[in-house]
Structure 1
Amino acid sequence: MGIRDEPLRRIREIENAVIPLPDGGHLAARIWLPADAESSPVPALLEYLPYRKRDGTAVRDEPNHRYLAGHGYACLRVDLRGTGESDGLLRDEYLAQELEDADAAFAWIAAQRWCTGGVGMFGNSWGGFNALMVAARRPPALKAIITSCSTDDRYADDMHYAGGCLLTDMFDWGAAFLTFLARPPDPVLVGDGWRETWFERLEGLHNPVEDWLRHPWRDEFWRHGSVCENYDAIGCPVFAVGGWLDGYSNAVPRLLAGLSVPRLGLVGPWAHAYPHLGVPGPAFDFLGESVRWWDHWLKGIETGIMDEPMYRAWMPDGLPAMPFYETTEGRWVAERSWPSPRLRRRRLWLTDGRLEAEPRSAGPVQWASPQLTGAASGEWCPFGTAGRGPEFPGDQREDDDRSLVFDAAPLEERLEIFGAPIAHLVASVDRPSARLAVRLCDVAPDGTSTRVTYGVLDVSHRSGHERPEAITPGAPITFELRLNDVAYAFLPGHRLRLALSTTYWPMVWPSPEAVTLTLLPGGTLELPVRPPSSDDEGLVVPGPAKAGPPAATTPLQPGLWERTVDLDAMAGRVTISNVADAGLTRLDAIGMTIGSRAEDRYMIREGDPLSARCESRRTVRMERPGWQIRLEVSLAASSTGQAYRLMSDLEAFENGESVFRRGWDAEIARDRA
């Protein structure tokens, strides 16, 4: 494997270091480093987030950073401007100020006595996003990055839009984001000025969801920070990591195909988390693999990491048709380059409810999906419970019954796909605004239906997201819909199913009017078939997962994670509710108790797409004896045929008393290309 079996070095921790900024402000950092680093300097590793080093990510940071520090690195967990103990204000995601501050942080880190001058950057989600963005700026000290569960394209693959469709994840993430913008620094670290800083943040609050809604196309707002605009801007090696259940996994193959620097890709079965923490399993020794990567690029040690195939991925032997499961069956596979020249494209024709190997004559088929279609979709990105609750797609049979389906004959032998299936369609719609969801499912002999992959499209975005094209009702349109990248093994006796629907609630906000699709002859499904490879036989994947000692915590109140679907048959209304309650936990090292609760409700009435409504509530608690902070956020989204209505409210409590409240009420025009 190439991982050196060396004793872990003794670690020194700096609880709250101050990184000065050119404008006179500062960033706050927690640092783990070898005790002798000032006399024997080491490379540094930076993780740069808005989620609060002191409490928000402390339980994850402690074992991760301590492990890496023990292998000879100075590890810094830095709070973004306006979060944690860093000063200033944060107003939105990935702004230019965030990236400029990162440049200053790199210069400061490289100049420290304990640093060799070489720095790596890594992160999951937000930290993976800004690792790519900072790499495109090429700070001199940056030598390599690891980006996990992130994207190269902020419009195409983030929780705001997909295929030009508005994702409801925008609203629940927006509610959560407001709580991060409004939290105070810790008085123990910043002293009596904590309250003044807190009120500066509260008074400076801006609701970024309004901005996201005002940019429904791929304009400059989204191009900023999207490294796909110029892959060649990135000059350092990139290790891109994702999970098949994560909403961002498409970025890994795109980065491998688009970058010209040394690069590796890894996609496992898990959801939105680092691989060694991800669910479902099997787990992956991500920190050990990270040491191989950093040792190679920051220390010049030959670890064998770059002898690995470019792209390693988990190939499941089918998946349970269940909204939650702990682990999966399958094996790791690899390709030495991407796109792989070994893959073969297999075409199946959509004919009279069947997927056929040869084209057959068929007539047009009309279909209008009920507004309830999509109830089994799960979450666009299972980040709310980090794989601890029922957020995965469940049995698809009810959604299949509400969709136009095409079934293949039962397989006589195993079929493996790796890459992005593509639906090539000829169709018309009867309304000037239309959404389309296409799902590829695995139907077992007992009839259960597992969603393998899917794609959604606002049909006006069929030729691109920069300049949507008007839809002429009734006019035939030829277009393709690319499904999400996937690796999957269909087993003998199982059937492939392609399901098309004109709604996909609650993942996708519906069209203003109910839509009827007319599918015309000539449609096909293109599959990326992967033949067997001898490389798979000798593929060694690190495991079990390792980490440093866990942070000391005391559970005080258990958590709760649940998802319910309630159907009012008389009213024709469905309500889907998610609860993610983290309970209460005391962080023993700092004597702080933290807790959070998230509640999301999605409501729609059959036959009335304008009845769609999302409601999100967030509660956050931070407590010590004599100091209690509580934040409560609510957000409600609805729409007419012409506009979205977004109502938000934030209230802050100190020692049980309300000390601040702000509301927002915005009407924002809908995109009517």
Structure 2
Amino acid sequence: MLLRYISPLLILFAIAASTALAQWGYSERAIPMRDGKYLAADLYSIDTTVAKPVILIQTPYNKEFYRLAIQIPGYAGGATFPTDTLHYNYVIVDWRGRFASQDAADPQAKRGEDGYDAVEWIAEQPWCNGAVGTWGASALGQAQYETAREQPPHLVCCVPLVKDYKSKYDDFYYGGAFRYEHVEALKTLGFYTDQTVENLIFANPSYNNTWKFVEATTDYPDEFAVPMLIIGGWFDHFPDGILRAFHDIREESAPAVRDKHKLIYGPWIHGGVNAETAGILTYPNAKGVAHEAALRFFDFYLRGVENAWESEPILRYYQLGENQWRSTDNFYELPTTEFSLYLGPNGVLSATPEAVEGSESYQYDPQDPSPSIGASRFTPFNPVTPIGPQDQAPVEARDDVLIYSSDVLEQDLVVQGSISVELYISSDRLDTDFAIRLCDVFPDGQSIIMTDGIKRARFRESLEQEQLLTPGEVTRVSIELQNLAITFKQGHRLRIIVSSSDYPRFNTNPNNGGTLYQPGDTLVATNAIHYGPQYPSRVILPKDASVNIGSPGEVSGDFMIQSIYPNPSRGAFSVSFSTSTLQGISFHLHDLMGRVVLEQSYDSFSPGEHTLEFTSALAPGVYVLEGAQAGTHNAVQRRMVLVTP
């Protein structure tokens, strides 16, 4: 089936920007496997008489994408990969049973063993110096994990992007609701058949022993023995999975490499890692970051270049809204405090619980579901599908949603971590869904989705056990959203859209309370959201505890660093900040040892916004810029500054 789609894609993308591979020559290679079969591969090199480190890419999506030097579709790894023709050779191999490796098909073969054989064969070739690294996104990332698990002696390091190594229930269900669009895309790509969906996925709609077995047999971070640079995106399919995977690898991989793994988490969609745009938003300081980091990582481990890679942060993440890079050792241990916004009448979200009981209702018709627009969608064969941050105006215009918004924020609201929405609901049906879209409302009125989630009501108590609703009875439903690092800026609003569908991202609930994924009648449901002292429906936010912002509407300080640009830089950057009073301000730039490497102090700034230029011959690495009002320790602002070679 996949071949039927690839041909028109080749034509579609042939007119797009070419990759650096267009300047190289390629030569075909046949890589022998342990069972006597061969995998088809292409070697890219500017001089095969020179032994260099080799970067191996294992693809299920046709190595000829690279041979033709066309724009690589997002699902196949993105437009480019980190290329350095002077210092590296590249081998791109078709997976067993795919495209030019079709003749090697064997359902019993293990992809990790194929990767092992490929690495060791490459290491023996005269154009390889014995050092092999791997790179690739999504399925290409999965192949790296499986290869690393086999521990080939000449594998030095790996760069998996937007992929968790573990197979799990959440890959197919979110809050008990089937990930319809995602699984349909995987079927089209040839990873699953209708029989697999019927006999495995639909047959196990709850988190049961089948899923626990699948998870246990694919959970192997203790078998990784090489450094990894893992790259993810906030608008990817499974941001929580990649954060967890990195944490587990840091905790459980071979002791010799546990402190060598790093994670970069950017403002990227699944097929747009390294890009400066996601959806309708632009993030200029995210462009090129992933590839630049990957090359530095490869240079350090494959070539032994002293480039201060080890001093880079363990985890770099992009703070949306603020649009700046931050760093931490452990995302799960960021200092946060629980902060709630309570639902109230007339679409209110308030830091104060509603004093009077009330409810609002809407009708949900499975035959006319609320449409999915943006967020973590996956439609690889429909390039016009809106993905990532998108305006939700078409959703909000429907009569099957309830909209709750905060007041205009008088200062930034900094959120870092897992967000949840706790609703007290009732329905006139035995089962239904409750879906949440979390939006950042800009001053111009655009309501931009940042993340979403859903909960099937029969799984409200547990994903392991179904419990149907009692019509008319109020009960609590908790909808967990994905982890996120976002600053809702001063002048913006925070908003949630409540509905009972988000299709085709998730399949529709027929509302009949019958056996899931079996033919049956669909019913219109009248669903209600309750609020007040007895039913405190709320949005629960992990607020950055290091930023004393109080509640929306409270102002805790009158000095704030707004942005640093460019960041990363080569030592020259500008700092934009604001102050509401006449005051002196000082800036100190510290290295990671706490030493002051640059300082500037000013006696007086008038109220308003200001920009200062900083120029210094700084060594490549990570620095912390600290700005403070003169004579106070309460208004200190800290931002990370990255300096590249």
Q: TM-score, normalised by structure 1?
A: 0.64
Post-superposition offset of 1:268: 2.5
Write the distance in 2 (CA, Å) between the matches of 1:90 and 1:208: 19
Q: Counterpart of 1:374?
A: 370
Equivalent positions of 1:111-510 (< 5 A) are 111-155=124-168, 158=171, 160-170=172-182, 172-174=184-186, 176-178=188-190, 208-210=196-198, 212-218=201-207, 220=210, 224=214, 229-260=219-250, 261=258, 262-273=260-271, 275-277=273-275, 279-280=277-278, 281=282, 282=284, 283-317=287-321, 330-352=323-345, 353-363=347-357, 365=359, 367-371=361-365, 372-375=368-371, 377-378=373-374, 380-382=376-378, 384=380, 390-392=386-388, 394-400=390-396, 401-462=399-460, 465=463, 467-474=464-471, 477-510=475-508
Residues 63, 96 of structure 1: CA spacing in aligned structure 2 closer, same or farther, 3 A cutoff?
Answer: closer
Corresponding residue pairs, total: 495
Equivalent positions of 1:17-56 (< 5 A) are 17-33=29-45, 35=47, 41-55=51-65
- State yes or no: 1:75 paired with 2:90: yes
SS across alignment from 1:70: coil
Residues 380, 74 of structure 1: CA spacing in aligned structure 2 closer, same or farther, 3 A cutoff?
Answer: same
Maintained 8 Å contact 1:11/1:32: no
- State yes or no: 1:525 paired with 2:539: yes
Residues 478, 237 of structure 1: CA spacing in aligned structure 2 closer, same or farther, 3 A cutoff?
Answer: farther
Write the distance in 2 (CA, Å) between the matches of 1:136 and 1:423: 38
Which range is displaced more, 303-312 or 279-288? 279-288
- State yes or no: 1:84 paired with 2:89: no
Residues 36, 229 of structure 1: CA spacing in aligned structure 2 closer, same or farther, 3 A cutoff?
Answer: closer
Write the distance in 2 (CA, Å) between the matches of 1:105 and 1:96: 14
Post-superposition offset of 1:207: 6.2
Maintained 8 Å contact 2:373/2:386: no
SS across alignment from 2:332: coil
Q: Deviations over 1:138-157 (max 9, x none)?
A: 33333322111223444455
Write the distance in 1 (CA, Å) between the matches of 2:104 and 2:395: 44
Write the distance in 1 (CA, Å) between the matches of 2:562 and 2:242: 20
Residues 300, 480 of structure 1: CA spacing in aligned structure 2 closer, same or farther, 3 A cutoff?
Answer: farther
Post-superposition offset of 1:403: 1.9
Maintained 8 Å contact 2:435/2:501: yes
Maintained 8 Å contact 2:432/2:509: yes
Q: Deviations over 1:61-109 (max 9, x none)?
A: 79988963524223211101111211347699xx863233223223322
Residues 414, 277 of structure 1: CA spacing in aligned structure 2 closer, same or farther, 3 A cutoff?
Answer: closer
Residues 98, 226 of structure 1: CA spacing in aligned structure 2 closer, same or farther, 3 A cutoff?
Answer: farther
Q: Deviations over 1:507-552 (max 9, x none)?
A: 2111122444444503322212235699986994379xxxxxxxxx
Write the distance in 1 (CA, Å) between the matches of 2:434 and 2:502: 8
Maintained 8 Å contact 2:169/2:211: no
Residues 67, 149 of structure 1: CA spacing in aligned structure 2 closer, same or farther, 3 A cutoff?
Answer: closer
Write the distance in 1 (CA, Å) between the matches of 2:462 and 2:145: 24
Which range is displaced more, 272-281 or 20-29? 272-281
SS across alignment from 2:143: helix
Q: Structure 1 vs Structure 2: percent identity of aligned residues? A: 24
Q: Which amino acid aligns with 1:493?
A: G
Post-superposition offset of 1:291: 1.3
Write the distance in 2 (CA, Å) between the matches of 1:9 and 1:399: 43
Write the distance in 1 (CA, Å) between the matches of 2:266 and 2:563: 15
Residues 379, 440 of structure 1: CA spacing in aligned structure 2 closer, same or farther, 3 A cutoff?
Answer: closer
Post-superposition offset of 1:11: 9.3
RMSD: 3.9
Q: Which amino acid aligns with 1:26?
A: Y
Residues 64, 70 of structure 1: CA spacing in aligned structure 2 closer, same or farther, 3 A cutoff?
Answer: farther
| Uncovered stretches (5+) of structure 1, i.e. residues with no partner | 1-7, 182-204, 319-329, 544-673
Write the distance in 2 (CA, Å) between the matches of 1:303 and 1:343: 33
Post-superposition offset of 1:122: 1.5
Write the distance in 1 (CA, Å) between the matches of 2:289 and 2:49: 26
SS across alignment from 1:483: strand
SS across alignment from 2:331: coil
Write the distance in 2 (CA, Å) between the matches of 1:65 and 1:35: 21
SS across alignment from 2:27: strand
Residues 207, 88 of structure 1: CA spacing in aligned structure 2 closer, same or farther, 3 A cutoff?
Answer: farther
Write the distance in 2 (CA, Å) between the matches of 1:90 and 1:340: 45
Which range is displaced more, 27-36 or 390-399? 390-399
Residues 292, 526 of structure 1: CA spacing in aligned structure 2 closer, same or farther, 3 A cutoff?
Answer: same
Write the distance in 2 (CA, Å) between the matches of 1:111 and 1:169: 43
Write the distance in 1 (CA, Å) between the matches of 2:202 and 2:440: 35
Post-superposition offset of 1:173: 1.3
Write the distance in 2 (CA, Å) between the matches of 1:55 and 1:248: 26
Q: Which amino acid aligns with 2:568?
A: V
Residues 487, 258 of structure 1: CA spacing in aligned structure 2 closer, same or farther, 3 A cutoff?
Answer: same
Q: Counterpart of 2:621?
A: none
Write the distance in 2 (CA, Å) between the matches of 1:302 and 1:76: 25
Maintained 8 Å contact 1:433/1:471: yes
Q: Counterpart of 2:119?
A: 106
Write the distance in 1 (CA, Å) between the matches of 2:27 and 2:206: 43
Post-superposition offset of 1:28: 0.9
Q: Which amino acid aligns with 2:536?
A: G
Residues 28, 294 of structure 1: CA spacing in aligned structure 2 closer, same or farther, 3 A cutoff?
Answer: same
Maintained 8 Å contact 1:275/1:286: yes
SS across alignment from 1:419: strand
Maintained 8 Å contact 1:373/1:399: no
Q: Counterpart of 2:573?
A: none
Write the distance in 2 (CA, Å) between the matches of 1:26 and 1:497: 55
SS across alignment from 2:506: coil
